[in-house]
Amino acid sequence: MFSQKGKQLLVVFLASFLLVAPYQSATQNEIAASPEESSLSAQLTTILNDEKLEGALAGVSVRSADTGEEMYEYNGDLRLKPASNMKLLTAAAALDTLGEEYTFPTEVLGDGEVKGGKLHGDLYLKGKGDPTLMKEDFEELAKSLKQEGIREVKGDVIADDTWYDDVRLSEDISWNDETNYYAAQVSALTAAPNKDYDAGTVIVAAYPGEDEGDQADIQVTPETEYIQVVNQTETVAADQPKDISITREHGTNNVIIEGTIPVDGTRSRSWVAVSEPSGLALDLFHQALKEEGIKVKGEQKLDGKAPASAEQVTSIESMPLEELLIPFMKLSNNGHAEVLVKEMGKVVSDEGSWEKGLDVVENYLTDIGVDADTMRLRDGSGMSHVNMVPANEISELLYKVRSEEWFDEYLRSLPVAGNSERFVGGTLRYRMGDTVADENVQAKTGSLTGVTSLSGYVTAQNGERLIFSILLNNYLGSVQEIEDEIAITLAEYEG
């Protein structure tokens, strides 16, 4: 018989044994693995023990691209913020739902009879989600109207952006982000300043004035009266520092430029998100009508909806989705992701909203065997700090999409490590150069405050194709080099 003290010791011993047992089992499993796999696991675990990740969270998953077999995982089932790795999910769902050749039309409709070159009614510019519209496209629409014989519009020119709902920002966009280009408002009718296609933005640049004491020379691309420039700058002596800020006043389209710029200084430039981007598109279209000599008797009006009686006069189509994927994924364009989410909602449920679009994304993931039930999806771009996705599910997605007929276009859209070409290397063009990962790793990057991610494909030294997903959260300082070290280690793998 045990004494009372002996019983207590026995209980402590048994409890200790039960706590240690799982660890011993895991160790035995690792020993049973091949020496090469054990070596790879040891290398990756050592990298993740970096002191820079002290107090942070890391989730890593590595699979064989041929079999989908899991080769390594470190907190692989832990839900973490994916940042722009969320775009991997959005792009796959969009390709499956919309198709590689899918395009976004923009229509011009007339509500009235055309007599003697005059439209006796209103003219509607109806957007259907195209995030690549530029000044040149509105000029093309105006030329086409002229070719159709319209020389004058007796009524108003009206913007119709009702293809999607009127919610401009996803619910987790922070107040201090909303005037920045990467958080531009989402509208079915919008415009971009250049071929990066940051829809809903303008480029504002400040150049030195001719003489000291002059205001800076401010240039806006595209030229538009939709924003109001408030110039509070001064050109200073050549030996003075440049200190220019370019900001949009919240709730307005007043762009305030403040500070000093030396007389021989370089420009300061910023992409600024506008408020209600359909107004920017309408202004560019109105300019184009004027340049073509088409008179408008009425006014420019926002928030209109073309009546059923309106007839299409002309239209223009965007590039196909397979081409849009390049600026979207290579440059990690947030606006494109959100447009695709709303478009999927419109096509599947006839509602261009985040709610209906994200339902489509989740259903696609479930259909291919990725566990959407373990995720929280709040937007299509990864801007939300509320998104939560495990690394194992991202790597599973990257395995499953390899069997899709559109996979080649999906893979082509991913940034390529070390490739200096902007629309090839994308956000990886300055990373992992002069290593075995150079021109080898194809992966999507992601970055938020305290969040970085990298998920994609790499070919190991033995020719084996590997899939990996790395999600790092809640760190202080910079840990991007840890991602690169993991990717390079996988590229060096000789197992």
CA distance 265 to 253: 27
CA distance 59 to 224: 46
CB 117 within 8 A of CB 152: yes
CB 481 within 8 A of CB 431: no
Residue tagged 């009879």 (tokens): 113
Q: What is the DSSP letter of 402?
A: G
Active site residue 87: yes
> Parallel, antiparallel, or unpaired for β 157-160 and 300-301?
parallel
Residues 6+ apart with CB under 8 A from 399: 63, 65, 68, 467
Nearest to 280, CA basis, from 255, 260, 297, 257: 255
The neighbour count for residue 302, using CB atoms within 10 Å, is: 13
The residue annotated as part of the active site, out of 81, 87, 330, 342, is 87
The reply to whether omega before 222 is within 30° of 0 (cis) is yes
Sign of CA pseudo-dihedral 184, 188, 189, 195: positive
The residue annotated as part of the active site, out of 84, 275, 278, 453, is 84
Active site residue 295: no
The amino acid occupying position 138 is F
CA distance 277 to 283: 10
Nearest to 94, CA basis, from 324, 298, 385: 324
CA atoms within 13 A on the CB side of 202: 31
List helix spans (H) across 99-189: 135-147
Question: How many Å separate Cα 143 from the centre of its chain?
Answer: 33
The residue annotated as part of the active site, out of 61, 332, 413, 453, is 332
Backbone dihedral region for residue 112 (phi beyond 0: left; psi -120 to 50: alpha; all else: beta): left
- Using the CB atoms, write b or e for 223-259: b if 16+ within 10 Å: ebebbeeeeebbbbeeeeebebebbbeeeebebbbbb
CB 197 within 8 A of CB 131: yes
Residues belonging to the active site = 84, 87, 332
